[in-house]
């Protein structure tokens, strides 16, 4: 399976069922959200998107469940913003 960075990712044999990896690279998160790698790095470093550092080189990983929670939180924030900032009617009658 090719990731957004062009590298192949190994998946576990699951009897024909595709299993998503539990942890994602920052580049995978960026591809999922359609933003830049640097934007995801900033989200992680600011604490907006929870992540862990692993390995000797301290590579960042985002748990898929945390990414889904982040997306749901953004939907809620957007809905609140839309509610608080109604679209102005351009043609008053």
- Residue bearing the bigger pLDDT, 2 or 60: 60
- Residue bearing the bigger pLDDT, 33 or 8: 33
In this model, does residue 1 exceed pLDDT 70?
no
Q: Show the 3-state SS of 14-59.
A: CCCCCCCCCEECHHHHHHHHCCCHHHHHHHHHCCCCCCEEECCCCE
Name all domains of the chain by residue range, CATH numbers in brackets.
23-84 (1.10.1660)
Per-residue pLDDT at 5: 54
Element (H, E) at 62: strand 59-63
pLDDT in tens, 10-68: 556 667 788 889 999 999 999 999 999 999 999 999 999 999 999 999 999 999 999 99
Judging by beta carbons within 10 Å of its beta carbon (0-12, 13-18, 19+), is residue 3 exposed, middle or buried? middle
Cβ count within 10 A of residue 61: 20
pTM, two decimal places: 0.73
């Amino acid at each position: 399976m090719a990731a957004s960075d062009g590298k192949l990712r190994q998946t576990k044999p699951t009897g024909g069922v595709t299993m998503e990896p539990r942890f994602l690279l920052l580049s995978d998160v960026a591809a999922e959200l359609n933003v830049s790698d640097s934007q995801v790095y900033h989200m992680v470093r600011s604490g907006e998107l929870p992540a862990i550092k692993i390995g000797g080189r301290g590579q960042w990983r985002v748990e898929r469940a945390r990414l889904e929670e982040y997306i749901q939180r953004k939907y809620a924030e957007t809905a609140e913003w839309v509610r608080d900032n109604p679209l102005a009617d351009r043609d008053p009658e």
